[in-house]
Amino acid sequence: MVRSEETKSFRFNHTMYRVKDPQKSLQFYQEVLGMELIDKAEFSSFTLYFLAFDHSGGSDDVSAKKLQRFKREGVLELTHNHGTESDASFAGYASGNDEPGKGYGHIAITVDDVQAACARFEKLGVPFKKRLTDGMMKNIAFIKDPDGYWVEILPNTYEV
Amino acid sequence: MVRSEETKSFRFNHTMYRVKDPQKSLQFYQEVLGMELIDKAEFSSFTLYFLAFDHSGGSDDVSAKKLQRFKREGVLELTHNHGTESDASFAGYASGNDEPGKGYGHIAITVDDVQAACARFEKLGVPFKKRLTDGMMKNIAFIKDPDGYWVEILPNTYEV
């Protein structure tokens, strides 16, 4: 399909959700999933964290990555409203998969080896919504991030 | 940053949300935003629609795009649970930005010319959550899709 001139430059740059405790979330997205923190923007009442998978092959050029933040796809923006991490009355955010508030579903990570990826998540103590062995689809798993958001793990080959 | 062997193949493949009426949603994501329907999966009670911006420069190789569905980032998966489009008692999905159910925020599209993009959305009658002239950030707009999900429109240069 030839894209129209009007939308030719458009890119699906990022997906945003709110997180209660950025330390827990950063640990999850960086250490468990292997994303990189490419940018951070602090405001008086909230902070934005931008994460993405590095496809440069291991470049350490941080400013180049920051500049590329708007030129690429696959960025995850985490919004931290200051104070939620230590507010005992804060109920937490909805994952989007339960009533009320159902609508948003999940993000998904494709991987070379879904068995190895899930074995590692088990070893790291990551909670699962659906293990590979659960349900009908044996090549797809769902893990949960620190806020309970679902992250689908699936092979990067066409098997579904 | 050198990525660990264990997460080296990981990609942020897609973001999923539920939609009430796929005809309205497909019209919005294809015609208004310029995404392409790269795949579709029909099940007995629901259908999945996979959309993405074509960065191939206008290839018509549909099967290649379908095969690339899991190899790329920036895919939007829309889930249609059959019947919602004509069910008068169906209340609709939460955008994630209001209580209860707050958590998920938005997806974002970066563009070359944010003024031109927004002028076109106005002309098409797209509802705005925030026009460029509203609020503090004059280079960022938010439009709403047919279910009320927010779509941020922002420049692809580093200005924020």
Domain boundary among A52, A85, A118: A85
Beta bridge partners of A39: A50
Window 8-67 of B, Cβ < 8 Å to A: 8-18, 33-36, 41, 52-55, 58, 60, 66-67
For residue B35, the chain A residues in CB contact (below 8 A) are 10, 12
- Please indicate, yes or no, if residue A1 is contained in any of the structural domains: no
Beta bridge partners of B49: B40, B78
Are B104 and A17 an interchain contact pair (Cβ–Cβ within 8 Å)? yes
Note whether A77 and A17 are same-domain residues: yes
Q: Please say if the pLDDT value at position B85 is more than 60.
A: yes
Q: Each residue of A68-83: b (16+ CB within 10 Å) or e?
A: bbbebbbbbbbbbbee
Note whether B74 and B109 are same-domain residues: no
How high does pLDDT run on average in chain B?
93
| Segments forming the whole domain that contains residue A142 | 105-160
Q: CA A127, CA A154: separation in Å to the nearest integer? A: 16
- Please indicate, yes or no, if residue A100 is contained in any of the structural domains: no
- pLDDT at residue number B160: 52
Known binding residues of B for Zn(2+) are 77, 106, 152
Which has the minimum average pLDDT: A79-88, B40-49, B56-65?
B56-65
With an 8 Å Cβ cutoff, is A1 touching chain B?
yes
* Confidence at B2, pLDDT banded by 50, 70, 90: low
Note whether A64 and A116 are same-domain residues: no
- Please indicate, yes or no, if residue A95 is contained in any of the structural domains: no
Note whether B35 and B68 are same-domain residues: yes
Which residues does B10 contact at the CB level (< 8 Å), separation at least 6? A33, A34, A35, A53, A109, A110, A111, A117
Contact A20, A146 (CB under 8 A): yes
Catalytic residue, chosen from A6, A42, A122, A152, is A152
Total residues found in chain B within this entry: 160
In this complex, the residue of B13, B77, B94 whose CB is nearest that of residue A102 is B94
How big is the A-B interface in CB pairs under 8 Å?
A: 229
- Please indicate, yes or no, if residue B115 is contained in any of the structural domains: yes
Q: Check if B152 is active-site.
A: yes
Note whether B118 and B53 are same-domain residues: no
- Please indicate, yes or no, if residue A94 is contained in any of the structural domains: no
- pLDDT at residue number A160: 52
Distance from the Cα of B135 to chain A's closest Cα (Å) equals 15
With an 8 Å Cβ cutoff, is A115 touching chain B?
no
The average pLDDT across B72-94 equals: 95
Note whether A80 and A24 are same-domain residues: yes
- pLDDT at residue number A2: 64
With an 8 Å Cβ cutoff, is B5 touching chain A?
no
- pLDDT at residue number B18: 96
* Confidence at B135, pLDDT banded by 50, 70, 90: very high
Closest A-chain CA to B4: A34
How high does pLDDT run on average in chain A?
93
Give the best residue of A2, A10, A76 to mutate against chain B (max B CB count within 10 A): A10
In this complex, the residue of B16, B53, B104 whose CB is nearest that of residue A10 is B53
With an 8 Å Cβ cutoff, is B123 touching chain A?
no
Catalytic residue, chosen from B6, B31, B122, B152, is B152
- pLDDT at residue number A152: 96
- pLDDT at residue number A66: 82
- Please indicate, yes or no, if residue B91 is contained in any of the structural domains: no
- pLDDT at residue number A90: 94
Note whether A129 and A81 are same-domain residues: no
In this complex, the residue of B14, B71, B94 whose CB is nearest that of residue A101 is B94
Nearest-Å Rg of the Cα atoms of chain B is: 17
CATH number of the domain at A152, please.
Answer: 3.10.180.10
Note whether A77 and A16 are same-domain residues: yes
Structure pTM?
Answer: 0.92
- ipTM greater than 0.85: yes
A42 carries a ligand binding annotation:
no
- Please indicate, yes or no, if residue A97 is contained in any of the structural domains: no
- pLDDT at residue number A105: 95
- pLDDT at residue number B68: 84
- Please indicate, yes or no, if residue B4 is contained in any of the structural domains: no
- pLDDT at residue number B159: 65
Are B3 and A70 an interchain contact pair (Cβ–Cβ within 8 Å)? no
The average pLDDT across B77-84 equals: 97
Task: Please give the structure tokens belonging to residue B114.
Answer: 């944010």
Note whether A73 and A135 are same-domain residues: no
Q: Please say if the pLDDT value at position A81 is more than 80.
A: yes
Note whether A17 and A78 are same-domain residues: yes
Q: Please say if the pLDDT value at position B157 is more than 80.
A: yes
Of residues A2 and A72, more confidence is placed in A72
Nearest-Å Rg of the Cα atoms of chain A is: 17
Compute φ and ψ for B57, nearest 5 degrees: 90, 15
Total tally of structural domains belonging to chain A: 2
Q: Please say if the pLDDT value at position B104 is more than 90.
A: yes
* Confidence at A61, pLDDT banded by 50, 70, 90: confident
Note whether A15 and A73 are same-domain residues: yes
* Confidence at B141, pLDDT banded by 50, 70, 90: very high
Contact A14, A75 (CB under 8 A): yes
* Confidence at B4, pLDDT banded by 50, 70, 90: confident
Which has the minimum average pLDDT: A58-62, A140-144, B3-7?
A58-62
Task: Please give the structure tokens belonging to residue B27.
Answer: 């019209």
Note whether B70 and B23 are same-domain residues: yes
In this complex, the residue of A73, A77, A101 whose CB is nearest that of residue B74 is A73
* Confidence at A142, pLDDT banded by 50, 70, 90: very high
For residue A55, the chain B residues in CB contact (below 8 A) are 11
